[in-house]
Structures are given as C-alpha cells and as structure tokens.
Amino acid sequence: MRIQVTVVYSPVARDVREVVLNLAPNSTVLDALQASGLLTLFPAIDQPATILGVWGRRASLDQTLRENDRVEIYRPLTVDPKVARRERFAKQGARTAGLFVKKRAGAKAGY
C-alpha cells in the first residue's frame, strides 16, 4: 500500500512546480522533499531558514504524512505586506481606495 502526496514550490511569482508522489506509509516531509527532486532543481530550498507546511500549516521535516497531503515549500517574503499596502494606497490616492471611494448619492456611510 502506498500514499499519494503532492509537493508544491513556487520559485518566482506565477511559476508553480507541483510534483505528485507515491510514497510508503509513514513517510515524512523530508522523504517527500527528497523524492520530489525539487532540492536538486532549486538549491535555495535546502537552507535552515526554509519554512515548510502541510496544507497551509507549518510542518517539521520529521512530520509523518497522510494520504493526499500537500507539502508546501514557502519562499521568504521580499516585501513586508504592510509596507506594500501603504505604497499601493499612496499610489492609488485616497479617493480611489477603500472606504474613501466615491459613493452614490444618498448611500449610507461604509457602503
């Protein structure tokens, strides 16, 4: 009996690499990474700072996988999300973003 696991990595925006594997029961996240071949294609993954997850939840290398698990390899953020939001807001201007957008006449506040 084998379990099916998917390993996903996105080296850059809009480029997603997805590898479907059939592994032995009680395989770990490390086993899936090694079997996927992504470590050899992308050496940047093999660093202590790399964060891994299973279905969006942080996972360790020794976590046991189950049938249909999705192992995700996260790359570090290049821009702080708060800073990016401030820059977008400054570029759009106060009249075209969020609660400050021009409303129809007679509309309630916040709608």
pLDDT of residue 34: 94
Average pLDDT over residues 55-80: 94
Please, are residues 73 and 41 in contact by the beta-carbon 8 Å criterion? no
pLDDT of residue 72: 97
Asked if pLDDT for residue 111 goes beyond 60, the answer is no
> Other CB atoms closer than 10 Å to residue 39's CB: what's the count?
16
Please give the model's pTM, rounded to 2 decimal places. Answer: 0.73
Tens digits of residue pLDDT in 31-62? 999 999 999 999 888 888 899 999 999 999 99
CATH homologous superfamily of 3-74 equals: Beta-grasp domain (3.10.20.30)
The CA distance from 45 to 92, in Å, is: 36
